[in-house]
Amino acid sequence: MDNKPVLELKGVSKNFGAVQALYNVDFTCRAGEVMALVGDNGAGKSTLIKGIAGIYKLDAGEVFFEGKPVTITSPRDTADLGIEVVYQDLALADNLDVVANMFLGREALTRGILLDEAKMEQEALETLQSLSVTTIRSVRQAVAGLSGGQRQAIAVAKAVMWNSKLVILDEPTAALGVAQTRQVLDLVRRLADRGLAVVIISHNLHDIFEVADRITCLRLGQKVAEFIPSETTQQEVVHAITAGELDTVPGMVQ
From 15-23, 176-184, 185-193, 244-252, give the range in contact with another protein by CB under 8 A: 176-184
Please tell me whether residue 170 binds another protein under the rule CB under 8 A: no
Strand positions, DSSP E, the chain:
5-16, 19-30, 34-39, 60-65, 68-70, 83-86, 109-110, 114-115, 166-170, 197-201, 214-219, 222-227
Closest by alpha carbon to 185, among 210, 161, 160, 166?
A: 210
> Taking CB under 8 A as the rule, which mask of x and - marks residues 15-54 in contact with another protein?
----------------------------------------
Check if the beta carbon of residue 169 is closer than 8 Å to that of residue 196. Answer: no
Q: How far apart are CA 148 and CA 39, in angstroms?
A: 24
Applying CB under 8 A, among 71, 73, 130, 134 the residue interacting with another protein is 134
Amino acid letter, 13? S
Closest by alpha carbon to 34, among 218, 232, 199, 231?
A: 199
Of 151 and 223, nearer to another protein (C-beta) is 151
User: Interface residues for another protein in 54-113 (CB under 8 A)?
Assistant: 75-76, 87, 89, 91-96, 100-101, 104-107, 109, 113
Q: Which residues bind another protein (CB under 8 A)?
A: 75-76, 87, 89, 91-96, 100-101, 104-107, 109, 113-115, 118-119, 121-122, 125, 128-129, 133-139, 142, 144-147, 149-150, 177, 179-180
